[in-house]
Amino acid sequence: MKPSDVSTLPDGVPEALEAEGIAELYPPQSAAVEAGVADGDSVVASVPTASGKTLIAELAMLSSIARGGKALYIVPLRALASEKKTEFERWEEFGVDVGVSTGNYDSDGEWLASRDLIVATSEKVDSLVRNGAPWVDDLTCVVADEVHLVDDSGRGPTLEVTLAKLRRINRNLQVVALSATVGNADEVAGWLDAELVESDWRPIDLRTGVHYGSAINFDDGSQREVSVGTGQKPEAALVADALDETVDGTRGSSLVFVNSRRNAEGAAKRLTGVTDTRLEPEERAELDELAREIRDASDTDTAVDLADCVETGAAFHHAGLSSESRSLVEDAFRDRLIKCVCATPTLAAGVNTPARRVIVRDWRRYDGEFGGMQPLDTLEVHQMMGRAGRPGLDPYGEAVLLANDRDTMDELFERYLWAEPEAVRSKLAAEPALRTHVLATVASGFATTRSGLLEFLDQTLYASQTDDDDRLATVTDRVLEYLAANDFLERDGDTLTATGIGHTVSRLYLDPMSAAEIVDGLREGVESGGTDAAESPARTRPSDDGEAPDDAEVGFVTGSDLAAEADGDADSGGEPDSRSDAGGDGEHTVGDGPTLSALGLYHLVARTPDMYQLYLKSGDRETYEEQFYEREPEFLGHAPSEFEDVAWEDWLAALKTARLLEDWASELDEDTIAERYGVGPGDIRGKVDTAEWLLGAAEQLASELDLPAVRDVRAARKRVADGVREELLDLVGVRGVGRKRARRLFEAGIETSAELREADKSVVLGALRGREKTAENVLQAAGRQDPSMDGVEADDDATASAVAADGDGEKGETSGGERGDADDGQATFGDFS
Ligand code: ADP
């Protein structure tokens, strides 16, 4: 079957597909068309990685749009949303408008209504449904990518419930579910009332085997000799072996999967020895250029390490990298410039980065719940192995596991090479998932009675997979009790009604348990006056270094007062040093009056189930215990006792997370934070984003409950969003001015956007380190009539203060504010870009 045989596509699309090199549809694609995927019928396609699932989705969505409909593509990871959107944008020339949901409901609302094809994560879709986005009713085709992830206990239930809701809103909805090969695709198809297309066809042969001793032992019984030198790691021998085999003038590239970020970095560094000696001179020049781009994009140790590896033809890839570094690595690997990538499974599974040889080095991973190493699922290993072989470029793909004894080799054969992948099992009956979805289902009017609720839940995969109807009813009742006890809903006989606050919680997309924690914490803060240690219920202070305020009932101090106070303490000398390490002492407001400190608020949101906390490493317990006692009056809510081991650890882990946020909001540079907390720039951004969202939610809850905490919460939120102290909040509001530029301007005496508008140009230019284009853009954004810098000389004093503002000289030159040229309004996140 050819693209032109699919008569339902918009005009011009078949020709465009053929021009892309899609002469024939792959067999699973033809099977999907025969099953009606282009005619509006629901289809579950369970086929191996790299067998062209995206095109199945495109055939369905584009045909649906050609019939006047509207399509939604649900991605499994936020990082994939923009990648998919870019991919689909090539259809815009055929009249298909593409949009991605950014998650900002207000700005999304109307705009998305005008799009034909929308890309979003399941969480975003769930949130849009909860908020009653009207265009959801117009959807005619919904694609769920990687639908086997309904098995994931964290995010699976949201995908499951979202699909059930969308199908209920629109009874004729076409659902196209794309899945890796799983053990029970028929059950998934049964649940979605869809035709099943199941296939193990691949566009390129895949040979799988286990390396043991001096050879790869393939599952067809053949062998390939790959001997390992003394002191050499087997993966190094395998990467070298692939590179030394030239087909059609190209050397074979390798993708090495390992189980942690640290291992990915370590393995890549070691493998540079293999790749470096096999580079052509012109490749070296291109790699140098690529390394420079990576260094320019970020100044963290991680980026520098990555650039060092890249110069010699190897790279690592994990979620701790900035998205810019990630895509630079992916592109260069696809272009065969980078010869070897060491990756963690999470991200690499979703990205189309084929390699001639895939090496699954680690097949066990640390499992916190289990408390030790656990083997990966067969499904996951199959997905990694499926990345082997680039159609049209390699003669075949090879996927290799590693064993250092015969027993392990036998085990690997049984567990991964000969085994069928696992069945997909719903995780909806887990309490945290139900808590969230039951409230949302009631609040958004999907169910108004207990029986209606159970009837809705009956349409989920969970219900279709269980014989025990009582279990769902029992957990649901427990959850209803919890929600009623926290005033999120009212129950009157069979009737269920969400309260005002319940509606808010659902709309804000909070886990009800997070909302309960936040509300309790804010109330407690109000009652105790926030910093009143004497009111702290669970413990007595071991040292009396902080005088609790005498009058716990004193009114609230505003956030700005608080910050001014804090900054006054920390910044008195205006010294870069005091600023760069200001976190702790700067905001230690004990005795200065009752107010909610930023740290207290960061800690409050950090201990909710919606925040993924930092781990305590060895020695951390003592460090954070000490900090806890030092700053005890600032914490909101009831601290557990030191003897409640798990709860206490949790409290301290939240404190570590809160300290990271506080450091960020005190202008500590990204590199120092990364080092101090042992995290990558991607992690810092993740924590900051989550904190911003949770504090925004806290602000709304406080305002709805008329708690006077609103202003403190807002100040804390804005500071964490922009990564600045209070005094810079106005300046960072100017487009193109990130935290670093704001600090430089401030130190040069320009303290507000109004002052910037009127400021002496030479001072602005000096503060912005002589960059004329930047200075012009910034002035223009501030509303200056004539922003031109023609003939303006940079003021030396301003330059000197800018350098001083950077603390340690040139550091930060290439990061932070320098990204402010981007006119996406995100300049305040410069450090992450
Ligand atoms: P999956 O989602 O199944 O892992 P993708 O949809 O990413 O796989 O497809 C893998 C690659 O195959 C893509 O580069 C895609 O352009 C290409 N491809 C898909 N269908 C065809 C086809 N019929 N002919 C040639 N190439 C195709």
Q: Which residues pair with 206 in a beta bridge?
A: 397
Residue 587, pLDDT > 50, answer: no
518: number of Cβ within 10 Å: 28
Residue 568, pLDDT > 50, answer: no
The bridge status of strand 195-198 relative to strand 43-46 is: parallel
| C-alpha 191, offset from chain centre | 29
Using the atom order of ligand 1, give the atom closest to the CA of residue 24: 23
Query: Please, which pLDDT band fits residue 662 given cuts at 50, 70 and 90?
Result: very high
- Please indicate whether residue 50, judged by its CB atom, sits closer than 6 Å to ligand 1: yes
What pLDDT, on a 0 to 100 scale, did the predictor assign at position 104?
56
**Percent helix / strand / coil, the chain, rounded to 5:** 50, 10, 35
Residue 456, pLDDT > 80, answer: yes
Tens digits of residue pLDDT in 258-301 = 988 889 999 999 999 999 999 999 999 999 999 999 988 776 77
Determine which residue's CA is closest to atom 13 belonging to ligand 1. 52
CA angle 212, 218, 221 (to 5 degrees): 110
Q: In this structure, what token pair is assigned to residue 447? A: 């169910």
Residue 564, pLDDT > 80, answer: no
Handedness of CA 195, 460, 102, 819 (dihedral sign): negative
Q: Per-residue pLDDT averaged across 379-391, rounded?
A: 90
Ligand 1 centroid, distance to 49 Cα (angstroms): 9
Q: Lowest mean pLDDT: which of 6-10, 345-349, 359-363, 589-593?
A: 589-593
Residue 809, pLDDT > 70, answer: no
8 A C-beta contact, residue 153 and residue 430: yes
Tens digits of residue pLDDT in 663-716 = 999 999 888 998 899 887 778 888 999 999 999 999 999 999 998 889 999 999
- Please indicate whether residue 49, judged by its CB atom, sits closer than 6 Å to ligand 1: yes
Tens digits of residue pLDDT in 527-538 = 665 444 333 333
DSSP string, 357-409: EEEE---EEEETTTTEEEEPPHHHHHHHHTTB--TTTSS-EEEEEE-SSHHHH
Ligand 1 centroid, distance to 347 Cα (angstroms): 18
Using the atom order of ligand 1, give the atom closest to the CA of residue 26: 23
Burial class (CB in 10 A: 0-12, 13-18, 19+), 749: middle
Ligand 1, pocket-test mutation among 54, 197, 330, most atoms within 8 A of CB: 54
- Please indicate whether residue 75, judged by its CB atom, sits closer than 6 Å to ligand 1: no
Ligand 1 centroid, distance to 709 Cα (angstroms): 53
Residue 580, pLDDT > 60, answer: no
What pLDDT, on a 0 to 100 scale, did the predictor assign at position 529?
53
Query: Please, which pLDDT band fits residue 628 given cuts at 50, 70 and 90?
Result: very high
Cα atoms found within 13 Å of the Cα of residue 637, Cβ hemisphere only: 21
Determine which residue's CA is closest to atom 19 belonging to ligand 1. 52
Residue type, position 777, single letter: N
Alpha helix (H) residue ranges in 581-616: 583-586, 598-606
Ligand 1 centroid, distance to 58 Cα (angstroms): 11
Query: Please, which pLDDT band fits residue 830 given cuts at 50, 70 and 90?
Result: very low
Residue keyed to tokens 């900054």: 567
Cα atoms found within 13 Å of the Cα of residue 700, Cβ hemisphere only: 17
Residue 206, pLDDT > 70, answer: yes
Ligand 1, pocket-test mutation among 17, 20, 22, 394, most atoms within 8 A of CB: 22
8 A C-beta contact, residue 358 and residue 398: yes
Query: Please, which pLDDT band fits residue 34 given cuts at 50, 70 and 90?
Result: very high
Determine which residue's CA is closest to atom 23 belonging to ligand 1. 25
For the chain, what percent of residues have pLDDT higher than 90? 62
Residue 743, pLDDT > 70, answer: yes
Residue 162, pLDDT > 50, answer: yes
What pLDDT, on a 0 to 100 scale, did the predictor assign at position 558?
31
The bridge status of strand 357-360 relative to strand 254-257 is: parallel
- Please indicate whether residue 181, judged by its CB atom, sits closer than 6 Å to ligand 1: no
What pLDDT, on a 0 to 100 scale, did the predictor assign at position 312?
96
Q: In this structure, what token pair is assigned to residue 723? A: 């990564």
Burial class (CB in 10 A: 0-12, 13-18, 19+), 158: buried
Burial class (CB in 10 A: 0-12, 13-18, 19+), 229: exposed
Q: Lowest mean pLDDT: which of 49-58, 152-161, 362-371?
A: 362-371
Q: What span, in angstroms and rounded, lies between the C-alpha atoms of 806 and 768?
A: 11
For the chain, what percent of residues have pLDDT higher than 70? 86
Q: Which residues pair with 399 in a beta bridge?
A: 208, 358
Q: Per-residue pLDDT averaged across 444-454, rounded?
A: 93
Look at residues 290, 281, 282 and name the one whose alpha carbon lies nearest to residue 309: 290
Residue 581, pLDDT > 90, answer: no
Ligand 1 centroid, distance to 537 Cα (angstroms): 60
What pLDDT, on a 0 to 100 scale, did the predictor assign at position 54?
94
Using the atom order of ligand 1, give the atom closest to the CA of residue 22: 24
Using the atom order of ligand 1, give the atom closest to the CA of residue 29: 23
Strand residues in 586-691 grouped as ranges (E): none
DSSP 47: -
- Please indicate whether residue 202, judged by its CB atom, sits closer than 6 Å to ligand 1: no
Q: Per-residue pLDDT averaged across 588-609, rounded?
A: 76
Q: Per-residue pLDDT averaged across 391-411, rounded?
A: 92
What pLDDT, on a 0 to 100 scale, did the predictor assign at position 255?
95
- Please indicate whether residue 499, judged by its CB atom, sits closer than 6 Å to ligand 1: no
Annotate 275-333 with three-state secondary structure: HHCCCCHHHHHHHHHHHHHHHHHCCCHHHHHHHHHHHCCEEEECCCCCHHHHHHHHHHH
Q: Lowest mean pLDDT: which of 216-230, 355-369, 748-762?
A: 355-369
Determine which residue's CA is closest to atom 1 belonging to ligand 1. 50
806: number of Cβ within 10 Å: 22
Instruction: Check residues 60 and 49 and name the one with the higher pLDDT.
Output: 60
Residue 582, pLDDT > 90, answer: no
Ligand 1 centroid, distance to 291 Cα (angstroms): 29
Query: Please, which pLDDT band fits residue 332 given cuts at 50, 70 and 90?
Result: very high
Q: Per-residue pLDDT averaged across 555-576, rounded?
A: 33
- Please indicate whether residue 25, judged by its CB atom, sits closer than 6 Å to ligand 1: yes
Q: In this structure, what token pair is assigned to residue 233? A: 């790691």
Ligand 1 centroid, distance to 3 Cα (angstroms): 13
DSSP string, 721-763: HHT--GGGTTGGGSTT--HHHHHHHHHTT--SHHHHHHS-HHH
Q: What span, in angstroms and rounded, lies between the C-alpha atoms of 648 and 47?
A: 46
| C-alpha 629, offset from chain centre | 33
- Please indicate whether residue 131, judged by its CB atom, sits closer than 6 Å to ligand 1: no
Q: Per-residue pLDDT averaged across 59-86, rounded?
A: 91
- Please indicate whether residue 52, judged by its CB atom, sits closer than 6 Å to ligand 1: yes
Instruction: Check residues 232 and 531 and name the one with the higher pLDDT.
Output: 232
Query: Please, which pLDDT band fits residue 107 given cuts at 50, 70 and 90?
Result: low
Residue 115, pLDDT > 90, answer: yes
Determine which residue's CA is closest to atom 5 belonging to ligand 1. 52
Q: Per-residue pLDDT averaged across 764-790, rounded?
A: 90
- Please indicate whether residue 17, judged by its CB atom, sits closer than 6 Å to ligand 1: no
The per-residue pLDDT of the chain, averaged, comes to 85
Radius of gyration of the chain (CA): 28
Q: What span, in angstroms and rounded, lies between the C-alpha atoms of 740 and 450?
A: 54
